[in-house]
Structure formats: C-alpha cells, structure tokens
C-alpha cells in the first residue's frame, strides 16, 4: 500500500517558497520644505555655486525628513538647471508618486502632475499645510522665471525672486508671485531612492535585490544573467550582471553605492564587462585612477569610476558613465549567500516530512 501524502506538505512548500522570496519595494520620492530660511543668494551658504548652496540647505535637513539616499533643492538656477530639467540633470524619478516627508501623504501622482498647468487636476495635497512662501525661481512649469534673484546670486532688496506657496494644490505651489531677494525664505527639497533591481543569479543562489544611489544622476538600472562566454571559468555569480548609467562631468569621478539585500560573499572579485560581453576585467579595490571600490559593510559596496576612463564602458568623455559590473567568487569559495535561518529550518522540516513513513501496526 503506498504511503499517504503528508497532511501538511502543501503548507511546508508554501512557507519554504516564502522564505526565499524577494520583496521589491518601489522607489520613494518625497517633497518637503526646509525649516531654515535663507535670502535669495545661495552662493553664501559656504558653496561655490547657487546650486551647491541650495542643495546644501536640503542636505543639512535630509535626515529629519526621511533621510533618503538622494536629495536636491527643487529650484531653478539658470537656463541649463531648471526644475523641469531635474530628471535629466539629477535623476529625479518621473513615474513615481511624490509624497510629503512622512512618506505616506501623496502630493502628486508623478512628476508631470507636480508641474504644468493644473487646470482642474490639482495636486492631491499641499506640500505642507502651514502657509509658507518658498523659493522656486520658476514658473508653474518648472522653467526659470524672469525673477530669480539673478540666478540665485543676489540678496539685494532691489531684486526679486519667484516663490511658491506651500499649502495650495494649484499652480501657486510652484509660482504664486515674487518677493525681494533680501527676504529670508525656505527652500523646497526633493529626496528620493531608486527602486531596487532583482538579482539574476546563477542557479541555486538565493534571490534578493540591489538598491542604488550615486553622486551623479542614475538611469538605466538593470540586472541580467552573467552568462557571457568570456566570464572566467569555475566561478559563481551570486547576483548577475549589474548595469547602470550615471552622469558625471567630463574627466571626473563618480561614486555609486550598491546595497545588497543579502550579505556579500567572502573573497569576491569585482569585474567590469565590456559592451559586447567579450571581456571581463578586474576592478581593483584600490590604487587605480580609472576606478576602485570599497566594501562599506557586509552588504554594501561603494564603486568609484572615472568618466571616460578605462572602466567607463562607452570609453568617451561624454558626461556619462556606462557601467556593467559582475561580482564573481571561485566555485569552491565559502560564505556564498545562502537561505536565511528560517529558510534552513523550514527546509529541515520539509526533509523530515519527506522522510516520514507510516508503518502498519
């Protein structure tokens, strides 16, 4: 007589699948107002440029407003650095909801909803409820206004700068009028994280995600299988081929942080992969002007690359770094990421169920 199926087999299988699943959160984008007020000259915030000064005001208060990985002042500085340009210039997400600093109250459904002629499609909520006039130097579409405190460089009472009103849901949130440049006013800040990308590991490796942040504007984040013929033999790819593009001034270094949801393996090597997948080149941890990396903690790598250098896949001084990289470990290496302790316990229980046999009395 065949042994009956274990009564709780389906439940054990479901729990085992749950233990190894990856849960991918969406990007988080928030819009808030600084507590500190400043006149219209942002070059006197201890920075060289108006953009750097305005951003510094937001960076100083980012921790108290969610502490997301990226933060910029939502302000127009000049014709090449307008609010409408921020997705291209700084990587601000365009398709995600925009929340208040609490991360739950929706202000706008997406970037396009925040800007432009609202008509009857007002914002979901004001940016903050108290009435505050906030520097924007922009019209309602995010274009540099005629009144911009001389591109954020003047605190003279005879000059004017455009402001938004923080509590309204119409076009006035970005452009409600102007004030003199000697008027202390706060700054709008937009902060965000990039949505994690799921691992595409070798067979038998656990699943998980990588979260990205960078000193440049990130785009084109993806992970695919590292199955190129040129991949070094007898190696394991725990995460897959990780690709992204990041902006950088010609000939400058950009640091990108990769945070893995599972621990990094011991004794791994980081490889740069060329566009054709025909060449894997080791990126040294230190001592190379074209690129290096540091293991920040058990789950985090900071990778610094030179724009236009040998580890920039497009190889051109064009203001962007294209960067497919792969983490590899020797097939015999220990401490390759494995199931969590709960996964191991469930697996042990499942094996016990399969080994159980009914016997006749």
* Pair (260, 178) in one structural domain: no
* Pair (126, 65) in one structural domain: yes
Contact present, 194 and 220 (Cβ < 8 Å)? no
When pLDDT is averaged across residues 177-181 and rounded to a whole number, the result is 98
* Pair (179, 207) in one structural domain: no
Q: Identify the pLDDT of residue 361.
A: 44
Q: What is the residue range of 172's domain?
A: 29-192
> What is the model's pTM?
0.64
**φ, ψ dihedrals at 76, nearest 5°:** -90, 135
Q: Identify the pLDDT of residue 212.
A: 87
SS3 state of residue 307: coil
Between 89 and 159, residue with greater pLDDT: 159
* Pair (99, 213) in one structural domain: no
The domain boundary, picked from 169, 192, 215, lies at 192
Q: Identify the pLDDT of residue 346.
A: 52
Pairing of strands 320-322, 253-260: unpaired
Q: Which of 269, 307, 273, 274 is nearest to 290 (CA)?
A: 307
SS3 state of residue 157: coil
Highest averaged pLDDT of the listed ranges 116-130, 247-261, 296-310: 296-310
* Pair (301, 268) in one structural domain: yes
* Pair (286, 355) in one structural domain: no
pLDDT band at 19 (very low <50, low <70, confident <90, very high): very low
Q: Identify the pLDDT of residue 196.
A: 84
Taking the C-alpha atoms of residue 144 and residue 140, their distance in angstroms, rounded to an integer, is: 10
When pLDDT is averaged across residues 55-82 and rounded to a whole number, the result is 93
Q: CATH no. for residue 211?
A: 2.60.40
The neighbour count for residue 91, using CB atoms within 10 Å, is 22
Write out pLDDT tens, residues 226-271.
999 999 999 999 999 999 888 888 889 999 999 999 999 999 999 9
Mean pLDDT estimate for the chain: 85
Q: Identify the pLDDT of residue 316.
A: 84
SS3 state of residue 322: strand
* Pair (251, 309) in one structural domain: yes
The domain boundary, picked from 192, 211, 239, lies at 192
The domain boundary, picked from 192, 218, 246, lies at 192
Taking the C-alpha atoms of residue 158 and residue 100, their distance in angstroms, rounded to an integer, is: 34
The total of structural domains in the chain comes to 3
When pLDDT is averaged across residues 312-333 and rounded to a whole number, the result is 87
Cα angle 118, 122, 124; round to 5: 145
Q: Which of 60, 35, 65 is nearest to 45 (CA)?
A: 60
* Pair (73, 119) in one structural domain: yes
* Pair (298, 166) in one structural domain: no
* Pair (345, 240) in one structural domain: no
* Pair (34, 167) in one structural domain: yes
pLDDT band at 82 (very low <50, low <70, confident <90, very high): very high
Q: Identify the pLDDT of residue 319.
A: 84
Q: What DSSP letter does each residue of 324-350 carry, written as one string?
A: -EEEEEETT-S------HHHHHHHHHH
When pLDDT is averaged across residues 68-94 and rounded to a whole number, the result is 92
Taking the C-alpha atoms of residue 83 and residue 62, their distance in angstroms, rounded to an integer, is: 19
Q: CATH no. for residue 109?
A: 3.10.100.10
* Pair (166, 216) in one structural domain: no
Taking the C-alpha atoms of residue 244 and residue 194, their distance in angstroms, rounded to an integer, is: 11
């Amino acid at each position: 007589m065949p042994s009956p199926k274990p009564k709780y087999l389906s439940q054990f299988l479901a729990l085992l699948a749950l233990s190894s699943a990856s849960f991918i959160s969406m990007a988080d984008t928030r819009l808030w107002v600084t507590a500190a007020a400043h006149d219209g000259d942002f070059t006197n915030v201890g920075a060289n440029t108006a953009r750097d000064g305005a951003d510094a005001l937001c960076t100083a208060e980012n921790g108290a407003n969610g502490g997301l990985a990226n933060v910029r002042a939502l302000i127009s500085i000049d014709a090449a650095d307008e609010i409408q340009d921020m997705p291209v210039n700084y990587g601000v997400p365009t398709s995600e909801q925009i929340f208040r600093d609490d991360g739950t109250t929706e202000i706008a459904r997406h970037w396009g909803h925040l800007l432009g002629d609202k008509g009857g499609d007002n914002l979901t909520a004001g940016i903050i409820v108290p009435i505050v006039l906030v520097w924007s130097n922009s019209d309602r579409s995010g274009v540099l206004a005629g009144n911009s405190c001389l591109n954020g460089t003047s605190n003279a009472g005879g000059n004017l700068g455009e402001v938004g009103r923080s509590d309204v849901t119409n076009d006035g949130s970005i452009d409600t009028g102007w004030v003199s440049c000697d008027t202390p006013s706060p700054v709008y800040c937009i902060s965000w994280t990039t949505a994690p990308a799921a691992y595409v590991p070798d067979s038998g490796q656990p699943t998980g995600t990588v979260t990205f942040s960078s000193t440049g504007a990130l785009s084109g984040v993806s992970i695919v299988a590292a199955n190129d013929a040129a991949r070094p033999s007898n190696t394991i790819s725990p995460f897959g081929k990780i690709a992204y593009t990041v902006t950088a001034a010609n000939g400058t270094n950009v640091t990108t942080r990769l945070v893995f949801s599972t621990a990094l393996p011991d004794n791994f090597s980081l490889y740069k992969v060329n566009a054709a997948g025909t060449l894997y080149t080791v990126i040294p941890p230190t001592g190379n002007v074209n690129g290096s990396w540091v293991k920040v903690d058990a789950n985090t790598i900071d990778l610094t690359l030179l724009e236009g250098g040998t580890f920039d896949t497009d190889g051109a001084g064009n203001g962007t770094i294209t960067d497919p990289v792969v983490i590899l470990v020797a097939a015999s290496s220990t401490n390759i990421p494995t199931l969590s302790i709960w996964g191991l316990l469930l697996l042990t229980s499942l094996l016990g169920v399969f080994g159980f046999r009914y016997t006749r009395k």
